[in-house]
Amino acid sequence: MSHVTTVLGDVSAAELGIVLPHEHLIANATAQWVPPEDPGLLEEFTKPYDLQARGDVQLAPFSYREPMFQTDLHVALHELRTLKEFGSHTVVELSIPGIGRDPVALKTMSQMTGVNIVMGCGEYVEFAHSPFIKHVPPEVIRDVLVEEIEVGVGTTGIRAGIIGEIGTSNTPTAAELKVLHGAALAQMQTGVALNIHRSIFPDPLGTLPAIDYVLDLGVDPRKVVVSHVDERPEPEFALLAAERGVFVELDTFGMEQWAISARRGGDYPRRSHDQDRYHMVQVLLDRGFVDQVLLSHDLCMKPQFIAHGGWGLRHLSRNVVPRLAALGVSDAEIASMRVDNPRRALERAR
């Protein structure tokens, strides 16, 4: 019998139901906020976030500091309760040290809503690394991750059920490769899934070497999930990753507000709209990769949450799935992407 580790303990993998495999209920991404070079813009880019500011933020979300964190438990609880109304019962929460992980809050929310929450562990990209990372070898990183998976985080007793999202820059740094090495060792020891963050700029194929790195270390590709394959509209990266046997995660559904640029000045390529994501799903299915596709929202910034005017965690069930069905994606294919595939990625043998 296989199981999945949640913040409330182990549950049968068969009980997961519809899974959202990449979300952030409680998150703080301000480590990647860069103050403007022009001091005259500081007040603009640090102003409180409200619906009147939504239009400005939509044009360049990473320029504004306030929307980059969501720590309100009530906002997150509203998402989970709404999600249950649409038939989903499991969320994979990939906030990790450096981007706002809060194990106690996740446990509280799971207890209050009945939603399974699978918590991540590990380190994000180098700017958000814990200070100890620079001083230790991969084996120490492995030991930290294994303890969080098998025993719990600190003194909480709350266990992680997935490694990641492990951060990699477009060209991974030495520190990021060290973390990735430790994460790969922990994956092979525990059997949990390993989620790798994709960086899309400047090289759209830049994360492929990170995938190859963990596979060369011996990680089973069937336990590797590659995030954000849909952030750019071109399907080439997703196809090349899928050919390696890993799970490819189209996890930014609903991020229409990022479709222009990430920062003022347009230093990023055009990001995907949902229309691009529908096309990418169809391309992957047409190429025979239905058993490797995962779907999610990567909810992480205030404008994405229902309480702040966003589509929230219900977007896939409410809007995306009906559209995919209208485009000819079968019920069986949708079930594979939303139920069967995430279950196989997350499950561990007893």
Alpha-carbon 244 to chain mean position: 20
> Is 297 labeled as ligand-binding?
no
pTM of the shown model: 0.96
**231-269 per-position pLDDT tens digit:** 999 999 999 999 999 999 999 999 986 655 555 555 566
**88-124 per-position pLDDT tens digit:** 999 999 999 999 999 999 999 999 999 999 999 999 9
CA 17 to CA 91: how far, in whole Å?
Answer: 10
> Is 135 labeled as ligand-binding?
no
Kindly report which listed range (61-75, 81-95, 153-167) carries the lowest average pLDDT score.
Answer: 61-75
- Using CA atoms in the order 153, 179, 161, 235, what is the torsion angle rounded to 10 degrees? 150
> Is 24 labeled as ligand-binding?
yes
> Is 3 labeled as ligand-binding?
no
In DSSP notation, 173-225 reads: -HHHHHHHHHHHHHHHHH--EEEEPPP-SS-TTTTHHHHHHHHHTT--GGGEE
State residue 246's pLDDT score.
99
CA 166 to CA 142: how far, in whole Å?
Answer: 13
Tally the domains of the chain. Answer: 1
Instruction: CATH number of the domain at 117, please.
Output: 3.20.20.140
> Is 197 labeled as ligand-binding?
yes
147: pLDDT strictly greater than 90: yes
**Which structural domain, as residue segments, surrounds residue 89?**
2-349
